[in-house]
Homo-oligomer: A and B are copies of this chain.
Amino acid sequence: MTGNANLDFVFHPKSVAVVGVSPSKGYDAMAETYVRALIECKFNGPIYPINPKGGELKGLKVYPNVKDVPDSLDYVISCIPAAAVPQLIKDCAAKGVKTVQFFTSGFSESGTEEGRRLEAEVCELARQGGIRLIGPNCMGVYCPKVGLSFAPDYPTESGPVSFMCQSGGNAIYFTRYAAQRGVRFSKLISFGNAADINENELMEYLTADPETRIIAAYVEGFKDGRRFSQAVRSAAAEKPVIVMKGGRTEAGARVVASHTGAMAGSAKIWDGLMRQAGVIPVATLEELGDILVTFIYLPVPQGRRLGVIDVGGGAAVLSTDVYVSAGLDLPLLPQELRQKLMGFLTTDAGLSVNNPIDLAAQYYNTLSAYYVMKAVADYDGVDILAFHLHLGINPPFPSFPKEFAIAVLDNAIRVHNETGKPMVVVIDQITTVESWETAMACQQKCQQASIPVYFSVRSTARALDRFVSYHEKRRD
């Protein structure tokens, strides 16, 4: 396939069949998981489980063959062994299926002659039958708008991010991780071996897709490096594009070959191309999460000058080193403003109204802290307000009690709501299970207020530098 085909139909099927359901209740019973995911994520059309023995599954009639499905059938998920796949494609073609997605592995990624031959045969059969293929060796599509999903716990709301992710495992984990951090997806596709639908077509499709505001990509290799770099360049001219390249090292490239059968290519050439294209590179999925929450929640700041509201002198020292090393500025506050800030504070023991502002015990005085933050937010010598919520620094508490943490945070949220100043919140020092509950509750409050949350100063610093750099380049 070449050309910028509109892949809308791939992401928005009206009916889905899952082939290879079985009575097994083992943890690897993926076909049943697909059926459950479609039900739980509220797929907005009929779901047809397929098994030659027929029967019933989760209240749904099981059909012996896709050809037995009584109505039209758009999309088929294959969980049967690789050797049985050619016949499935023939049946799908007879039924008029538009897309077949293969959880099934054992094709070119196996490194065997037989696997490569089988993959080529399947592609040829699909082409003849007018069917588009996803995979093989992948999880397929998550599109909350229509309830298409591969895991039962994924959010049912849509969002601005689309993620093309060559790896199935990375797609599974990242969707959960990102959901927890307040990232919602328009479309997510795990495309495995990319035997038919590949990274070029997907990048072109997402570039043109009006529902995709931000493109994230995890790619292991390229069918056509020149076309992909062109596609990425066009994409990055339209919207933010964040790319993770798997197999950057020689050893990593070797792992890629046995994972999706892709050729990883040279990291050096790749880096050069991506830099020219204006793409934001990331190296881990957690970094990708940091960048996404920044693009989703943070308004574009005027510059890279941070005003940091902190508690604890040592924490303020380390944060400053980390922020400044990452290329951000912490300007000294003018004497007039510092005097104003001191006026809000009833004691000066341990506190410092330099930048970072270390409020010491006054941090917990929600009224004083509010006025301090408000005054810093109103000061136009600072572009972004960074509020640090350390959960483990208060001696009496094994970790900050939830209600108390929320009361302290509410001050920052109030300032954000009143001033509209770009604000980030760092929640860290999470040492107990209870403190994770507190952190999750605080993160949710921030998401409701459209404030990005990070779980370490280092993550914050890296994400902010990349975000600001991105916008600086676009202003040039």
A249 touches B321 (CB 8 A): yes
> What CA separation (Å) do A458 and B350 show in the bound complex?
35
CB distance from A102 to the nearest CB of B (A): 12
A284 touches B395 (CB 8 A): no
- State whether the Cβ of A51 lies closer than 8 Å to any Cβ in chain B: no
Interface 1/0 per residue, A221-264 and B, CB below 8 Å? 00000000000000000000000101111111011101110000
> What CA separation (Å) do A349 and B180 show in the bound complex?
31
- State whether the Cβ of A37 lies closer than 8 Å to any Cβ in chain B: yes
Binds B, one of A290-298, A375-383, A418-426, A432-440: A432-440
A256 touches B317 (CB 8 A): yes
- State whether the Cβ of A86 lies closer than 8 Å to any Cβ in chain B: no
Specify which chain B residues have a CB less than 8 angstroms from the CB of A249 in the assembled complex. Answer: 320-321, 324-325
- State whether the Cβ of A313 lies closer than 8 Å to any Cβ in chain B: yes
**Contact residue among B166, B180, B397 (Cβ-Cβ distance under 8 Å from A431):** B180
A349 touches B173 (CB 8 A): no
B251 touches A324 (CB 8 A): yes
Chain A residues numbered 377-416 whose CB sits less than 8 Å from any CB in chain B: 390, 392-399, 404
> What CA separation (Å) do A321 and B256 show in the bound complex?
10
B250 touches A324 (CB 8 A): yes
**Contact residue among B252, B260, B356, B458 (Cβ-Cβ distance under 8 Å from A320):** B252
A176 touches B392 (CB 8 A): yes
> What CA separation (Å) do A350 and B138 show in the bound complex?
10
A321 and B246 in contact (CB under 8 A), knowing A106-B349, A314-B169? yes
- State whether the Cβ of A316 lies closer than 8 Å to any Cβ in chain B: yes
**Contact residue among B150, B167, B313, B317 (Cβ-Cβ distance under 8 Å from A314):** B167
The contact sample of 14 A-B pairs, CB cut-off 8 A, is A37-B395, A105-B350, A110-B348, A150-B395, A151-B396, A176-B431, A244-B318, A249-B325, A254-B332, A254-B354, A255-B313, A255-B352, A255-B356, A286-B456
- State whether the Cβ of A137 lies closer than 8 Å to any Cβ in chain B: yes
Chain A residues numbered 273-325 whose CB sits less than 8 Å from any CB in chain B: 283-286, 311-318, 320-325
Specify which chain B residues have a CB less than 8 angstroms from the CB of A169 in the assembled complex. Answer: 311-315, 390, 393
Chain A residues numbered 123-146 whose CB sits less than 8 Å from any CB in chain B: 137, 139
A172 touches B321 (CB 8 A): no
- State whether the Cβ of A152 lies closer than 8 Å to any Cβ in chain B: yes
- State whether the Cβ of A476 lies closer than 8 Å to any Cβ in chain B: no
The chain B residue sitting closest to A436, CB to CB, is B436
CB distance from A140 to the nearest CB of B (A): 11
Query: Which one of A110, A256, A260, A313 has the greatest number of beta carbons of chain B within 10 Å?
Result: A313
Binds B, one of A25-33, A93-101, A198-206: A25-33
CB distance from A226 to the nearest CB of B (A): 23
Chain A residues numbered 40-96 whose CB sits less than 8 Å from any CB in chain B: none
